[in-house]
Amino acid sequence: MGIRTGQQYIDALKSRKPEVWLNGKLVESVYDEPYFHQPIQEIAKLFDLQSDPNYQDELTHICKETGERVANSFLFAKSYEDIMKRSRAFEIVARQTFGLMGRTPDFLNTVVTSLAQNSWFLAKYNQDWAKNIENYYRHLRDNDIFLTHAIVNPQNDRSKTSQEQADQFTHLGVVEETTQGIIVRGAKMLATLAAITDEVIIYSFPGFAPGDERYALAFAVPVDVEGLKIICREPLQDGTRSTFDHPLASRYEEMDALLIFEDVLVPWDKVFLYNNVEAANLLYPMTGIAEQPAHQSGVRGYVKLAFAVEVACKVADSIGVDQFLNVQRDLGELVQSVEVIRALLRTAEHEFTITPQGEARLNPEALETIRGMMPEMYPRAIEVMQTIGAGGLLMMPTEADFDNPELRPSIDSHYGGRAGVDAEERIKIFKLAWDLCGEAFGMRALQYERYYTGDPIRKRAIYYTKFKNQHKFELVESILSKENGKAVKQST
């Protein structure tokens, strides 16, 4: 089949009945649930974009294996040209939602593509795992499946390992093997958009120790598989909020969920890794699933940061405060932070290497630096926006006030900005800013930037330790090795 349209995605959604819990109630029909209405439309638009003649050649390519048109996020990167084709596609997708939807389909397409391109690693342990991931990649690519993922154990008690938790199936693990597959039980988080996706893939960050075998696993199942409970977090919008009042929250809310597996059967052909601590610990370093998705996230994050910075600049300009030196300094810092991310992305893309298996991998240092800097740069952009918007961010009238003819003259005379900025323009800018820097929606978007890729503190610590172990400190060694003589007096 190849690429799907938005309608085909929606039809698939309507044909399923996943067990989704929202606000304490079982959702009868995900498609008809108002809370999901807008995100479904946004995802459908992304599927439609692949058939749009203005974007098709930049978002898709003809698959050599099938002759069908498929998404560029499924492209095996083998050269700089392939990297840039993917980069361009990531950016087009990110711009559709201003980088605010992090788990658009291209993200996990990239993960599975990376796993399939490195199936040699899984084959070292089990030929079936390699065959399964290659087939799963084809299934996703050829049916344009929308995936969610859950790779983290719920927090419960972080001072204990999975085997030490209150129950041995507090965290997701294998209960038993059957002739048909494995039975899995326990929870995983944090599956963004789970309710409106087609399937879920499970794998984990490294960190397994002997004894963790039952938790060392990777597999995929449809979201409506029997025994899978999807418990959504509290919604940030109810599907009826005005786009005038909440231009972002009303459109781009990505619902997150906890997944609880209650004796779910995973067929053997959907098992990619199982009962092997070593393979689970090496999955990230060996298969490129750190770097390739970091490319998608880096491009998306770049668009989101650039958007937030534009909003901060517009807020400052609209009330004339960017005449002040301190405001110019802060905004200058934000503009430079966007340039830093852009430069790191270009470095990552240009300084690629080809692995012995022929995969083009981006410069991991540059990608990891983006991952290290964004959890500070994005919150900083939000902080500057809050500081510049100050009290005005809270003082905006609602759409209902704005539309009321009795109030409108007062609004027009008291909500305007600097010369040339009328009340409507200023209200719209400030409402946009509030969605980003004050609303629960904006706070989730901020928390996403901090944590979507793991704990930034431990990631940076790992980065430093790796640097220390691999770096030769040649500059310091060279000065230390110079002759240690007494200072020679300069002749006058």
Ligand X SMILES: Cc1cc2nc3c(=O)[nH]c(=O)nc-3n(C[C@H](O)[C@H](O)[C@H](O)COP(=O)(O)OP(=O)(O)OC[C@H]3O[C@@H](n4cnc5c(N)ncnc54)[C@H](O)[C@@H]3O)c2cc1C
Residue 86 or 171: the one with the smaller Cβ distance to ligand X is: 171
Tokens of 428: 């719209």
User: Min. distance of Cβ 30 from ligand X in angstroms?
Assistant: 17
CA nearest neighbour of 28 among 17, 36, 42, 13: 17
User: Min. distance of Cβ 188 from ligand X in angstroms?
Assistant: 7
Residue 264 or 319: the one with the smaller Cβ distance to ligand X is: 264
Sign of CA dihedral 30, 33, 35, 36: positive
Rounded Cα distance, 109 and 199, in Å: 12
CA nearest neighbour of 386 among 430, 335, 344, 349: 430
Give the CB-nearest residue to ligand X.
Answer: 192
Residue 119 or 192: the one with the smaller Cβ distance to ligand X is: 192
Residue 257 or 313: the one with the smaller Cβ distance to ligand X is: 257
Rounded Cα distance, 154 and 172, in Å: 9
User: Min. distance of Cβ 24 from ligand X in angstroms?
Assistant: 21
User: Min. distance of Cβ 230 from ligand X in angstroms?
Assistant: 12
Note the residues at the interface with ligand X (CB under 6 A).
Answer: 103, 149-152, 155, 158, 190-192, 256, 444, 447-448, 451-452, 454-455, 457-458
User: Min. distance of Cβ 307 from ligand X in angstroms?
Assistant: 17
Residue 253 or 322: the one with the smaller Cβ distance to ligand X is: 253
265: β partners: 183
CA nearest neighbour of 71 among 137, 169, 15: 137
Residue 150 or 279: the one with the smaller Cβ distance to ligand X is: 150
Residue 314 or 371: the one with the smaller Cβ distance to ligand X is: 371
Contact 105, 46 (CB under 8 A): yes
User: Min. distance of Cβ 190 from ligand X in angstroms?
Assistant: 4
Rounded Cα distance, 55 and 60, in Å: 8
Alpha helices in 68-153, H assignment, sequence order: 80-96, 105-117, 119-125, 127-143
User: Min. distance of Cβ 203 from ligand X in angstroms?
Assistant: 9
End-to-end CA distance of the chain: 85
Residue type, 320: G
Residue type, 206: P
